[in-house]
Structure 1
Amino acid sequence: MNLNCFVPQQREDETVEEIEVTLEEIKAINFVDVEGLKYKKCAKKMKLSVNELQYIIINARKKIGRALTEGRVIRIIEEQPIKTLCKFRCAVCGEIYNIDYTKNEIICPLCFSKEIMTNKEAGFCNM
């Protein structure tokens, strides 16, 4: 039994693409969706801000939902330390959050807007 991935039933002549889900995403889904922890308690347990946790949950649910509906393999991976973590501000609701922009879609975790300001536009740095 392979414990680090979920593989849908497939025909022998079929090649199924994989969707990678990080251990951190699995942990967050387990705490929130399986154990029923509130976001604030889960974020504290995982040493994240509530906004970071919210974004991780949104991405994890999207990946898992896509894998299940499209019959893709879910590969659980250990994520490397984030080197491209950046601060963004939503131009619609003003929410400020950090994401790894190379791996995640740049959307507001609060209102789901794609109207986002970069570090420079939001005044976080003097570039």
Structure 2
Amino acid sequence: MARPTKWRRVAFMPQVTCFKPAGVPARLLEGVALSVEELEAIRLKDVEGLQQEECAERMRISRPTFQRVLESARQKVADALINGKAVRIEGGNFALPRQLFRCRRDGHEWRVPFEALASGPRLACPRCDSPSVLPVRPAGSAFGGRGWGQGRGGGRWQGGGR
């Protein structure tokens, strides 16, 4: 029996989750599904320019696992570009960071899971109920530092394409 897949940590959720060749109706296109952690691997290695060891550390996975995730992602993107396929970013086994907030009224700090930020109508201080709150971004952190929450839908996030 295979080992269960470990959660991979990601610090970025895409705003746009579907890409397709211009001028071709979506209904006529084949597509490839890129998982959220595969997108994160591309972001860390190819956009941020980090070494694989640091990429693996940030995602909390081994270097060989990172290499496999990155290779799978690059293969899917290359297939889509060469063969004119749509790319959908969806699903995967991932965990998202919690964002640190500070109340401007009383200085109270607390962490809010990503999924609460994405679905909540308004954010208020849990101590004084003031709506005057600001995100705290520690130096060098992508999403508020330590504190990771499980990805929306238990990591089985389905993005809303544009």
What is the TM-score when the length of structure 2 is the normalising length? 0.46
Cα displacement string for residues 17-57 of structure 1 (whole angstroms, at most 9, x for unaligned residues): 11000000000100001110100011000000000000001
Quick check: which one's helix share is greater? 1
Change in Cα spacing, 1:33 to 1:12, as seen in structure 2 (3 Å) is: closer
Q: Aligned runs of 1:95-110 on 2, under 5 Å?
A: none
Report the alpha carbon displacement of residue 73 of structure 1 after superposing the two structures with TM. Answer: 0.4
Change in Cα spacing, 1:68 to 1:39, as seen in structure 2 (3 Å) is: same
What is the TM-score when the length of structure 1 is the normalising length? 0.58
What secondary structure sits across from 1:41 in the alignment? helix
Q: Gaps (5+ residues) in structure 1?
A: 82-127
- Partners of 2:73 and 2:22 in 1: CA distance: 22
- Partners of 2:81 and 2:58 in 1: CA distance: 28
Q: Aligned runs of 1:22-61 on 2, under 5 Å?
A: 22-61=35-74
Q: Gaps (5+ residues) in structure 2?
A: 1-14, 95-162
Greater length-normalized contact order (CA 8 Å, ≥ 6 residues apart): 2
Identity within the alignment, %: 32
- Partners of 2:33 and 2:82 in 1: CA distance: 15
Q: Which residue of 2 aligns with 1:5?
A: 18
Q: Which residue of 1 aligns with 2:89?
A: 76
Give structure 1 regions of 4+ aligned residues with deviation exceeding 2 angstroms. Answer: 10-14
What secondary structure sits across from 1:24 in the alignment? helix
Q: Which residue of 2 aligns with 1:64?
A: 77
Between the two proteins, the alignment pairs up a number of residues equal to 80
